[in-house]
Structure 1
Amino acid sequence: MTGSWQKVNFVNSRGLNLAGLLYVAPGNTGRIIINCHGFTGSKEGGGRALELGTELSRRGWSTLLFDFSGNGESEGNFADLTLSGQIDDLTCAVDWVVKRGYNQIVTVGRSFGGSTVICQAARDHRIAGVCTWAAPARLMDLFTSFTDESLDSPEEMVTMAGENGVIYLKKAFFRDLQLYDVPREAARLTPRPLLIIHGTGDGVVPPGDARLIFEAAGEPKKLVWIEGGDHQFTGHYLQVWENLFAWLNKHFPGI
């Protein structure tokens, strides 16, 4: 089936059912983008991820969107979220598309989803290329800034300020973050291409994080600054898309 979004689902290694949406490009090209949402986000990206997937299909790329466990329509408790869990979710998504015959897989991740795609691809050579949008490099610095609570206190839950109000995470989230050095993980991607996109006006993830990832990564790599772009690339998303399309055309030219 082509020309429309299909609801799909797959199971992660913890037995949780993950909800996805698949848009199959015409011609069964075997090329697919797995697009990963950000912290507290969802697969649809407020509609933008759906628009992007439709546009990518015109360029020969299928798209898989999915909700990380504990988010959106996927099973799981948000308080159990960890980066290791998201890496597992994405790896299971890769397993799922490979079983369906896709053999050229590029991952795209926004914000914390960007950190996830870097860390996952460092461990999975089935990923042909990685693109990040506003991805944090200094994870502990970023996430501890969202709470006033001490991580040394005996309570297991941490109260955090999210985009949509107060959220709760287990301290295991922070312990798990310490296992990952995002710039060092980015260095493991070479010789696969890496595209880093970041807004100069990002007030959530400092633009310096993009520089840290870029400087650590091997070739081929590219860092694109979106002048004045905020964390959501408000008013600049078409510029982000055009940079993605140009990068895909360069590194993955059509057959």
Structure 2
Amino acid sequence: MIKADNNNWKKVAFRNSRGLALAGLLYGTPEETGDIVINCHGFTGSKEGGGRALELGAELGQRGWSTLVFDFAGNGESEGDFANITLSGQIDDLTCAVEWVLKQGYKRVVTVGRSFGGSTVICQGARDPRVAGVCTWAAPARLMDLFTSFTGEPVDSPEEMVTMAGENGIIYLKKAFFQDLKLYDVPQEAARLAPRPLLIIHGTRDGVVPPTDARLIFEAAREPRELVWIEEGDHQFAKHYHQVWKTLFGWLDRHFKRPAP
């Protein structure tokens, strides 16, 4: 399903393997580019990224790349209950997004993920050879350490739900979220991406995900791999996002430049 909007972005929808409809926005067409970036939001985020994800998509369009942004199930305009989210579910959502863009006619897919979306693109890419390259922004490596720090409750209690402090107030997740996290070792997953390129971007002043997490992912990964520090960058890259974009553009040019006609 594709509906045109007023700003070069088209509203799209596709289903994950659980039957939930996922809402997305697509910039560009396979006829124009053949190459596409799937840009994944972070924990409790949305596809628009406060507008910046759409700005980035337009910039990528000027450089010959289409972009798909979408809401993970339970987030934004997608179907599902946020309390039911898991990393396995997000991996499935992204796999279905990859399948969808390939069915549209795109030939080469690169995934980009911010924060928990970054952990997602690593784990999904490790399982999907159709992904040509992976880029993370402020991705956590030690998932249990990070998410248990957001709650004062024991995650192994008999209670079904866990109360967590989110950016926009209190949120609730099922205990299954934490049980599912135990299935994934993000650095080990990163090692499975080679020989496809991996770009890790992290701010030196990230107060949410420690910069040491980026180092753990980098050291576990195999070539071709790059770790780029954004000096003074926070978790949101609030004052440095153009530097992050420039780093991404350069990486795409180096690894995915099209042959001359």
Q: Which residue of 2 aligns with 1:108?
A: 112
Q: Which residue of 1 aligns with 2:27?
A: 23
Q: Which amino acid aligns with 1:57?
A: G
- Point out 4+ residue stretches in structure 1 off by more than 3 angstroms: none
Scaled by the length of structure 2, the TM-score of the pair is 0.96
Which digits, 9 at most, give the CA deviation of each residue in 1:6-38, with x for residues without a partner? 000000000000000000158522100000000
1:173-197 CA-to-partner distances (Å, cap 9, x unmatched) read 0000000000000000000000000
2: distance between equivalents of 1:153 and 1:146?
16
Note if 1:201 corresponds to 2:201: no
Matched pairs, number: 255
1:13 to 11, 14, 17: 17
- Letter of the structure 2 residue corresponding to residue 151 of structure 1: V
Mapping of residues 171-210 of structure 1, within 5 Å: 171-210=175-214
SS, match of residue 207 in structure 2: coil
- Map Cα deviations across residues 110-137 of structure 1 (whole Å, 9 max, x no partner): 0000000000000000000000000000
Give yes or no for the alignment of 1:39 onto 2:10. Answer: no
Q: C-alpha separation between the residues in 2 aligned to 1:11 and 1:234? A: 32
Question: Structure 1 vs Structure 2: percent identity of aligned residues?
Answer: 78
Deviations 1:206-245 (A, max 9, x none): 0000000000000000000000000000110000000000
How many angstroms apart in 2 are the aligned matches of 1:128 and 1:241? 19
Determine the structure 2 residue equivalent to 1:158: 162
Equivalent residue for 1:66, pick from 43, 46, 70: 70
Q: Which moved more, 1:148-157 or 1:43-52?
A: 148-157
2:229 aligned with 1:242, yes or no?
no
Is the Cα contact below 8 Å between 1:33 and 1:64 reproduced in 2? yes
What letter corresponds to residue 58 of structure 1 in structure 2?
Q
Q: Are residue 226 (structure 1) and residue 221 (structure 2) matched?
A: no
CA RMSD of aligned residues (A): 1.3
SS in 2 for 1:113: helix
Amino acid at match of 1:18: L
Deviation (angstroms), 1:152: 2.3
1:211 corresponds in structure 2 to: 215
Distance 1:242 1:61 in 2: 14
Match for residue 83 of structure 1 among 75, 83, 87: 87
Equivalent position SS for 1:122 = helix
- Alignment-mate amino acid for residue 178 of structure 1: K
Task: For residue 214 of structure 1, give the secondary structure of its aligned residue in structure 2.
Answer: helix
C-alpha distance in 1 between matches for 2:107 and 2:184: 28
Which whole-Å deviations, capped at 9, do the CAs of 1:140-188 have from their partners, x for residues lacking one?
A: 0000000000112211000000000000000000000000000000000
C-alpha distance in 1 between matches for 2:203 and 2:92? 28
Distance 1:216 1:202 in 2: 21
